[in-house]
Amino acid sequence: MGGKKILRVDLSKGTVREEPLNQDWIKKYIGGRGYATKLLYEELKKGTDPLSEDNILIFANGPLTGSNVPTGGRYMVVTKSPLTGMIASSNSGGYWGAELARAGYMFIVVEGKAKKPVWISIRDDKVEIRDAASLWGKDTHQTTDAILKELGDDKTRVACIGPAGEKLSRIACIINDKHRAAGRSGVGAVMGSKNLKAIAVKGSGTFKAANPDALKETLRGAMQKIKENGVTGEGLPTYGTAVLVNILNQLGSYPHKNFQEAVDEEAEKHSGERLAETFLTGKTNCFACPIGCGRETALKDKHGEGPEYETLWAMGSNCGVEELEPIIRANYLCNELGLDTISSGGTISAAMELYEKGSIKKEELGSGPELRFGSEEALVYWVEKMGKVEGFGAKLAQGSHRLCESYGHPEFSITVKKQELPAYDPRGIQGIGLTFAVSNRGACHVRGYLISPEVLGLPEKLDPWVTEGKAQWGKIFHDLTAAIDSSGMCLFTSFALGADDYADMLKHGAGFDLNPDSLLKAGDRIWTLERLFNLREGLDPAKDDTLPVRLLTEPISSGPAKGKISRVKEIIPEYYKLRGWDAKGIPTAAKLKELGL
């Protein structure tokens, strides 16, 4: 198993201590997202202010993080979100999580608040809380470089926040390995609220499989499936995620100008194909990843990774910006300043709509450029101000929900549970609308990627325009994803692998007694516990399990999906029933008993 201990850090007291894993929780919740949810549920008091010292910030590996299973390098950050007020559960790749496993830890639980900025140094079981005065104010790249220089070791892995997290932007992320993000729900602000700038990790351990011979055999089959699958073996390695721009646009479900339209006539200009012809310089892989979807890019004056599909859309089409150069620049700024690109793009686009419709006045912008759709200058300028939480950027840094509410136009905020929607229009793709509406962390596509059957045809082709059957598909995808996120593997493997493969890897890699059914049941348990957490924090299913009013009432105005609205309200009652929840969306006593909750 990758890391067998919990490292508990109390920043108020300045203490660190090790704890053993709760083996009963491991069996029921696997690790990663699942175990961390259980820990948060048990330890966090109801109603805790997410940005107070009472919040708990959990860095969570899965039992396969740091192993040689394909993509076995993922970790999660779980906490109470300052954006949604509900559970935050953000996943990241790179190499940081695997290094934490090598140091012997599966979880870091950060409590309290340091009196002054600090960073945590972990070198196997030698853990120190160190002064971060000289790091505070630095961006994520400068911070990483400064820590590596101070340690005199460029093999150490660093996860840190930028100015956005320090200044408590509710859409701040945590960046590890300079380019990978635990992006969503404002986890970076929780880190900032604790005066914690960074966690640097170096380990010397190795992964020991429960049954090396059986694991070897399982991996042979899994690697073959990943290699032969069209998406994981060819599509993602060749083009990365960016190749989705054209396909979603051709489907007429590529949100444009804050979801006012669903076709972008100029999308080709910022497509994956165009990126490959212009700014692409190379490809990157995360730890133990045979897919390699990461993209290296360069502008004249800087280089970096990305943008991914979501970012191309969020900074591009959704803001009416078509050319790659400003989108790439805005993407780099988000990574350096520590902002979630999806929520940043969704907030700028909402601000552009507010400005064009007369709610935001020119004088509020000071000397900054007008927030007009299509303005490259405005995109780059305001992303920087947002990341530095300066001037009008401070308003933007709170996310689109708070921004639009403050101007009396909550309908311009395209959010669920106050979190910005990703790059798919649920009016033209009905099933993904269910995932957006019921996702426990607010609008999210990777809580159950129904784009796979509805658009790509994997594992079979479903009609994106119909609602029938989507509740069943949704539940299976949601449960399987919760289990994968708890294992330490990347969701992208699920284009090629099924529940039986994950159960076998957990069995032979980490000693779990799992089969496909019990794996999915663990996913069901994790999803339901997240639901219980949210209900305890005040979730109102009737109000919160839905989509923005625009998507429920304003038909798509042009393109192949012209005339469509989201009919997610037709899907949700069946979904609740399949989950064993009552008609109001509350898990029944019988269901809780069945799941051992």
Binding site for another protein (CB under 8 A): 230-232, 234-236, 238-244, 246-247, 250-252, 272-273, 293, 308-310, 445-446, 449, 451-452, 455-458, 461, 463-465, 491-492, 495, 559-561
Tokens of 571: 């899907």
- Closer to another protein by CB, 11 or 429: give it: 429
Q: Give the three-class secondary structure for 532.
A: helix
User: What is the smallest separation between the CB atom of 328 and another protein, expressed in angstroms?
Assistant: 17
- Closer to another protein by CB, 212 or 457: give it: 457
Task: Give just the sign of the alpha carbon dihedral 249, 254, 257, 259.
Answer: positive
End-to-end CA gap in the chain: 25
Per-residue CA distances from 108 to 3, 26, 61, 103, 563 (Å)? 11, 15, 9, 11, 49
User: What is the smallest separation between the CB atom of 497 and another protein, expressed in angstroms?
Assistant: 13
User: What is the smallest separation between the CB atom of 239 and another protein, expressed in angstroms?
Assistant: 6
Residues sharing a CB contact under 8 Å with residue 260, sequence separation 6 or more, in sequence order: 353, 550, 557
What is the spatial distance between Cα 232 and Cα 384, in angstroms, rounded to a whole number? Answer: 34
User: Which of 506, 387, 434, 488 has its CA nearest to residue 91?
Assistant: 488
Find out whether 249 and 558 touch, Cβ atoms under 8 Å. Answer: no
- Closer to another protein by CB, 4 or 562: give it: 562
User: What is the smallest separation between the CB atom of 98 and another protein, expressed in angstroms?
Assistant: 21
Residues sharing a CB contact under 8 Å with residue 388, sequence separation 6 or more, in sequence order: 163, 164, 167, 337
User: What is the smallest separation between the CB atom of 492 and another protein, expressed in angstroms?
Assistant: 7
- Closer to another protein by CB, 215 or 262: give it: 262
User: What is the smallest separation between the CB atom of 251 and another protein, expressed in angstroms?
Assistant: 6
- Closer to another protein by CB, 240 or 431: give it: 240
Residues sharing a CB contact under 8 Å with residue 116, sequence separation 6 or more, in sequence order: 131, 132, 133, 195
- Closer to another protein by CB, 440 or 528: give it: 440
- Closer to another protein by CB, 293 or 506: give it: 293
Neighbours of 445 (CB within 10 A): 19
Residue type, 173: C
User: What is the smallest separation between the CB atom of 235 and another protein, expressed in angstroms?
Assistant: 4
User: What is the smallest separation between the CB atom of 205 and another protein, expressed in angstroms?
Assistant: 31
- Closer to another protein by CB, 346 or 387: give it: 346
